[in-house]
Structure 1
Amino acid sequence: MRAVRLLAVGDIRAVEVDAPLPGPGEVLVRVLAAGICGTDRHLYKGEFPCAPPVTLSHEFAGVVIARGEGVSLAVGTRIACDPNIACGQCDQCLRGRVNLCARNIAIGIHRDGGFAECVTIPAHRAVETGGLHPHHAAFAEPLACTLHGVDLGQPIPGERVLVIGGGVIGLLAVQLARNAGAEVTLLTRHPAKRELALSLGAMQAVATEAEARDVLPNGADLVLECAGVADTVEMAPRLTRTGGRIVVLGVLPKGQKVQIEPFDLLFREIHLLHSFINPFTQSRATRMLSLKQIEVAPLISRVIPLAEAARAIAEPAAPGEVKVLVDPGLA
């Protein structure tokens, strides 16, 4: 079968591999849609730890076509993959902080993922999606990660929330904060993404820090940093009101540093938090997608075959592009 594998840092290609067989406790999934994530580009550049050679993609949906010993999940079940496999035994797992597991194994990072015709995953990482379109079900993982960040930020009705970054996480955050009853502003330099944010419920969309100051002269109660850029992380405290909160969801390259003034955070009692992956939020995300509480169809910029995935990961995202999906069924 065909799979898109990261063979080494800077070396990603579509290759022929043997089709996997499900072991005990596993299911074999025919992949119907897999999203290209910014983390995939970090992996390609060596900016995020992983274990090559490995088939990438931790955001995917498909259908169960075979099952291993001890699995009750029926063949034919539509699923979305919850990619993080916590050990359940380390100190963090025992505290309920499974996203901080010391021995976490991430599908598509440490073991083969969804940029392939088929993939095996532990059955307990398969979340049933019912009649949800697979192109939409592939958003379950990024929505689950965004849910965790918004949970940490705790927006309440009537608050002002500033989302920095108009990628998929930012545009999902806009909708989640809006659903919480907050007044939402998006900051992104891309005009098409500003228009998209307004159509998804943002009250305002601005291009610069100065424009954000104009519409939020006292700062935002909650800033959700979703761009993963040093400049925007440094900008976030300047756009947060006294007594406000910041949650950083964006992923910066490993080793990159930013400048923050601790005295400013202290004197204005700004809470600076970070959000990592999706602890116990994948099922919630899948239900929200099924109930159409979150719109994802407008976030799909294009759908490509497996043959084009390696190039799409290796090259920078096109201006205004939000989410590229890989459909292994396309020729």
Structure 2
Amino acid sequence: MKAVRLESIGKIFLRQIEVPEPGPDDLLVKVEACGVCGTDRHLLHGEFPSSPPVTLGHEFCGIVVEAGSAVRGIAPGARVTGDPNISCGRCAQCRAGRVNLCRNLRAIGIHRDGGFAEYVIVPQKQAFEIPLSLDPVHGAFCEPLACCLHGIDMAGIRAGSTVVILGGGVIGLLTVQLARLAGATTVVLSTRQASKRRLAEEVGATATIDPAATDIIEAIAGPSGLVPGGADVVIECAGVAETVRQSTRLAKAGGTVVVLGVLPQDEKVEIEPFDLLFRELRVLGSFINPFTHRRAADLVASGAIEIDKLISRRVSLDEAPGIIANPPAAGEVKVLVIPSIE
């Protein structure tokens, strides 16, 4: 079968490899769609830890074609979305219910072979069934949506909250929708790209800001800003140092900042501790998707989340290495790899 292999840092190729065989607790899944994530680019450049050589791709869905001897409840022919993050269930963090902080965490598409391939192995406990009537490309959005759900949970958004979202990529645009579903009445998104600002307003943002054209702090949190005095919640979704620096200045006194975007490992950001103390800000990191994948799958299946507008293009496995090796195109939100495309 074809598979997109990270062979070492900086080296990614399309290869022919053997179709994997499922173990007793595994499912062999024929991949229908797998999303390209910013993390895939971080993996290529060695900015996020991985275990090459490995097949990339952690945002996938597909059809079960074979089930291991111990599998119960999911049969061949079912459509599943895979939670890529496999916790050990034994360490102190797992026993405390913090499975995303598992000391032995391993992820499909990062530490073991993933979904940029014709087939992928998914342990049954990581598989969540979704309707066969659902557009299969929608299933590839369950994993990023699950990560956004965890960030929303941590943010504690309540009805009537004001929310600022920094970053107009797929994470920011999904978070806009979740913030509105959580009851936020004001949701402001900041991004430099005009097409993404328009899209944000189409999916629920009450206002957008171009940070390149204005003083973002004054425009949002200033006396005459969109959210005078700052927002109840600020969610950083861009994964860049500049927006992390902005985030604490955009939150109101007593507000909450959630860092959801992935910055390169070892990148440093200056933050004034006195400001955190004096205004009693809560600054939280939100890491992956503990116990949110089922909720994400149900949300996607319900149609409550706008997905089609977030799809920029669909490409083949042959095209995927070049997509991952290059920066996103202007205005690009989500590229989906479809193995059935020749």
Q: Identify the range of structure 1 (189-198 vs 123-132) with the bigger mean alpha-carbon deviation.
A: 123-132
Check conservation: 1:187, 1:212, Cα contact below 8 A: no
Are 1:239 and 2:250 an aligned pair? yes
Alpha-carbon distance in 2 for matches of 1:291, 1:225? 27
User: Which runs of no fewer than 5 residues in structure 1 stay unpaired?
Assistant: none
SS of aligned partner of 1:43:
helix
| Pairing of 1:101-250 with structure 2 (within 5 A) | 101-130=102-131, 131-182=133-184, 183-208=186-211, 209=216, 210-213=218-221, 214-250=225-261
Match of 1:273 in 2: 284
Alpha-carbon distance in 2 for matches of 1:290, 1:206? 31
Alpha-carbon distance in 2 for matches of 1:122, 1:63? 14
Post-superposition offset of 1:134: 1.2
| Pairing of 1:75-94 with structure 2 (within 5 A) | 75-94=76-95
Match of 1:25 in 2: 25
Alpha-carbon distance in 1 for matches of 2:65, 2:166? 40
Segments ≥4 residues shifted beyond 3 Å: none
Post-superposition offset of 1:218: 1.0
Q: Sequence identity of aligned pairs in percent? A: 55
Are 1:323 and 2:334 an aligned pair? yes
| Pairing of 1:14-93 with structure 2 (within 5 A) | 14-72=14-72, 73-93=74-94
Q: 2:134 is matched by which residue type in structure 1?
A: L
Alpha-carbon distance in 1 for matches of 2:288, 2:170? 14
Q: 2:122 is matched by which residue type in structure 1?
A: I
Match of 2:2 in 1: 2
Question: Per-residue displacement from partner, 1:108-130 (whole Å, max 9, x unpaired)?
Answer: 00000000000111111110011
Post-superposition offset of 1:293: 1.1
Alpha-carbon distance in 2 for matches of 1:212, 1:46? 35
SS of aligned partner of 2:318:
helix
Post-superposition offset of 1:285: 0.3
Alpha-carbon distance in 2 for matches of 1:211, 1:261? 21
Post-superposition offset of 1:62: 0.2
Check conservation: 1:184, 1:202, Cα contact below 8 A: yes
Alpha-carbon distance in 2 for matches of 1:81, 1:188? 30
Q: 1:193 is matched by which residue type in structure 2?
A: K
Alpha-carbon distance in 1 for matches of 2:181, 2:55? 36
SS of aligned partner of 1:215:
coil
Instruction: Give TM-score scaled by structure 1 length.
Output: 0.99
Post-superposition offset of 1:217: 2.6
Q: Identify the range of structure 1 (78-87 vs 211-220) with the bigger mean alpha-carbon deviation.
A: 211-220
Aligned residue-pair number = 331
Judging changes above 3 Å, is the alpha-carbon distance between structure 1 residues 301 and 12 closer, same or farther for their aligned structure 2 residues?
same
Question: Per-residue displacement from partner, 1:249-308 (whole Å, max 9, x unpaired)?
Answer: 000000010000000010000100000000000000000111111111110000000000
User: Which runs of no fewer than 5 residues in structure 2 stay unpaired?
Assistant: none
SS of aligned partner of 2:319:
helix
Instruction: Give TM-score scaled by structure 2 length.
Output: 0.96
Alpha-carbon distance in 2 for matches of 1:187, 1:273? 20
Match of 2:310 in 1: 299
Alpha-carbon distance in 1 for matches of 2:76, 2:19? 17
Q: 1:23 is matched by which residue type in structure 2?
A: G
Q: 2:276 is matched by which residue type in structure 1?
A: L
Pairwise CA RMSD: 0.8
Match of 1:314 in 2: 325
Match of 1:98 in 2: 99
Post-superposition offset of 1:17: 0.4
Post-superposition offset of 1:158: 1.1
